[in-house]
Amino acid sequence: MSIEVGEKAPIFTLPADGGETISLEDYKGKKVVVYFYPKDSTPGCTTEAKDFSSLITEFEAADTIVLGMSKDSVRRHDNFIAKQDLKVRLVSDESGKTIEDYGVWVQKKLYGREYMGIERATFLIDEKGIVRQVWHKVKVKGHAEAVLAAAQAL
């Protein structure tokens, strides 16, 4: 079951790049974009992370934090950030609890094979912790720009 617009965003406290721990509650009073993606260093995920990174100054100007989340380890996140020169924070949910809380651990199909995986999805959360916009089954091209426009309009 996915989180819907108008609902309170599930709170999480998880390890992030650089060995820090990040909690959604750390950002009360700011807008937060949480984008979920399948795996570090894959083509679509790399493009998405680079697109968000290229707009980080505009997100900051809109008082918006951008957090990417996958099941990858902090070490993989650190390597991904260094290799791609990313400007976004990456959060590690190795247990998958937060991914499930947001409803983005879903059944997927590839070449007729069914398996469970992370749906590429993005949540825009307002300063009070309420979900204001949700994008499911994200197509990477133009997505970061659409999220930025929504954050600026909030």
Which ranges of 40-126 does DSSP label H, i.e. alpha helix? 43-54, 56-61, 74-84, 97-101
Out of 33, 45, 81, 150, which one is annotated catalytic?
Answer: 45
- Rounded CA-CA distance 4/48 in Å is 22
20's CB contacts (< 8 A; 6+ apart) are none
Q: Is 19 left (phi over 0), alpha (psi -120 to 50) or beta?
A: left
73 is catalytic: no
Number of residues in the chain: 154
Cα-only R_g, the chain: 14
On whether the CB atoms of residues 33 and 18 are closer than 8 A, the answer is no
- Rounded CA-CA distance 39/61 in Å is 28
* Active site positions, annotated: 45
